[in-house]
Structure 1
Amino acid sequence: MPLTAARVWPGAGIALADGHYLVRWPLVAVLAGVPCFLVGVALGATHPGEVYSYSVLVIAVFGLIGQFGAAFGLWATTGYAFGDLVLHVPATVYVAEEERLRVVVLPMLLSYGVLALFTVVAPLTVLGVRMMVLGATWLPRPAVRWVECAAAVLTAGLAAYTWARTAPMLLRPIFVWSGSVPTVDAVAPLQQRAWLLVVVVGATAAARVLLDRWALTGRAATFSQILWAGLGVEVAKGPRSGALGLVLVLVGAIGATFLLAGLISGYVQATAVFLFFVSLLAVRRLLLVRAPQAVAVLMKVPFLIRLAAGVWVGYLVGKVVISYFWTRTETFLPVLASACAAIAVITLLTLPPPGNPYRELPRPRSRHGV
């Protein structure tokens, strides 16, 4: 399934493959998605308030599941969506039927996308950093195992903290699209207990590194290398061409605009944001297809340095934008503009390398190997 999905969208294939260390126990690997889905259903049906942000413990469970594999996080998020949509009784149950799509369903779908940033995208970010460490030829091999674990913990903790700080703004449509305002109970848990998510997710990321080393031996290690090689071939093909490439650009732009809906005021801003992301994804595609030499030069700079530079530049740009607009508007336009600028900088500085990015990953040599 991961390789099939990767032929359409490499990112989807990588997400579905994350957690394949369970192939060491074939029956567990086949059934692992079921309990993750059921946990998601239970949390979706029983969580307090209108959305999961009312309980940091609920979110911590999702973070724990996701760090053991993005595929498991996807199963849990899908289960939560089912439980929340079908079994949970929201406070807005008496909304008029003609308003239900706009006031209830679309904001709930948005909340699942925000949750997926934590359960799927964050684990994939940790996985990407780990692979960069494993492929770093400049690191002494005895140091790789320690650097990999430290990098996983730091990346997971930073991702959890960032998500906890941004999620309340992204979840605003749950309330404002129905004419209310976010309650203190919906915002305070993430603002006051973000440290709990950092600890849980960081510890789980470290446990995941150790679990990978223990499980990926023998036939499981061989399977892992073959799987990553196959995924690398799909990544090496670059952006999809023709109608599929256009569809992926449009879907990506629509998804990004939808996730930022909590910061958008009106259809004019929504259209502007959508066109911005279409342009950004088009430029990214153009660089990868038409300027591979320039991308190759950029790739000579280590990924972690490029990522740090992107975050720093994005922060500076955002600070300037917010300072300029803050007293000129009462909307979230300053935050929206700074978020778009930061996303653009990070996207262009972290382009994927040309060729197969997984071809040089070290093969686990033994149960106690790196």
Structure 2
Amino acid sequence: MAELKLSGVRKAYGATTVLHGIDLEVADGEFVVFVGPSGCGKSTLLRSIAGLEEITGGTIAIDGVDATHLPASERGLAMVFQSYALYPHMSVYANMAFALENMGLQRAEIDRRVQRAAGMLRLTDYLDRKPKALSGGQRQRVAIGRAIVRDPKIFLFDEPLSNLDAELRVATRKELAALHGEIGGTMIYVTHDQVEAMTLADRIVVLQGGRIEQVGTPLDLYNRPDNLFVAGFIGSPRMNLLPGRVTEPGKVALGEAGHEVACETGLLASGAAVTLGIRPEHLALAPEGRGLPLAIELVERLGGESYLYGRSAGLPQITLRLDGQSGHERGSTVALAFPQQSLHLFDEAGQSVRI
């Protein structure tokens, strides 16, 4: 396995720049996830690392060796794509062995690698089958096995679970996490699904507009987002982001009624426009008349938890998560409390205000 270092990586198509000077280091054995909305540059960055895209500027080093201009075949990487890309006329065994045969390995070594990967991925009983006789999840495991047998320096995954249904996605996600724990390989994984990112990654790289917004562990990004974009992107349901203004040091007013919330405001001046952030599970119910009034528009009861969606005058929709089975109904009103230790404050430029 190997470490990866990107320095000032740029990629442009004519006058359109899609990667703006990416600097990133991935440690040996680390599982790093690139996440962001469609068009943010995450797949382009992965393909640039793989050598499938020629970068416009910067350098790519793999295990301390400059690989910027090496062809993909010489970088020692293995990539798993969104599509399974299996040979339909070949058995599972032949699909997994094909690249090894082209490398000129001895038959005994090929068999050892294929059997080892098949055992890891619970494919041993399917080695004689053709891809058409497999489920979607099994086909994706074959594609992953085809990468494992090559014993690459780094595994690259480009949204490998997006073609699977919800149940299979969860199951295969668990298998990927277990696989990383077993082989300890360096893995870089691209997804637009922040739940996948939160559950798989050692570290997450949040991308937007071809730039890195923040890098950190899943809980670092969840608990201490650097800016409004990360705050709104990481977490499901998303963080409540409420416009307000500083009325005096330590207080922020929200909504048309100017409901005041105690919040550390740092050096922001009175009258400064801000955004107050709080996650749905951190909001609390207050005694009637003592909190921000919320008119409930929708109630979702999921058994173990309930979600209340509602509005307060002058504010966007607010989401509240409650444990258990809520008795609140659409059309009723509750009062919300904002625990100070759970608040996030962002300035007019969208940057986090931290004390």
Question: Would the TM-score normalized by the shorter structure come out above 0.5?
Answer: no
Higher helix share: 1
TM-score (norm 2): 0.26
Higher relative contact order (CA 8 A, sep 6+): 1
Higher strand share: 2
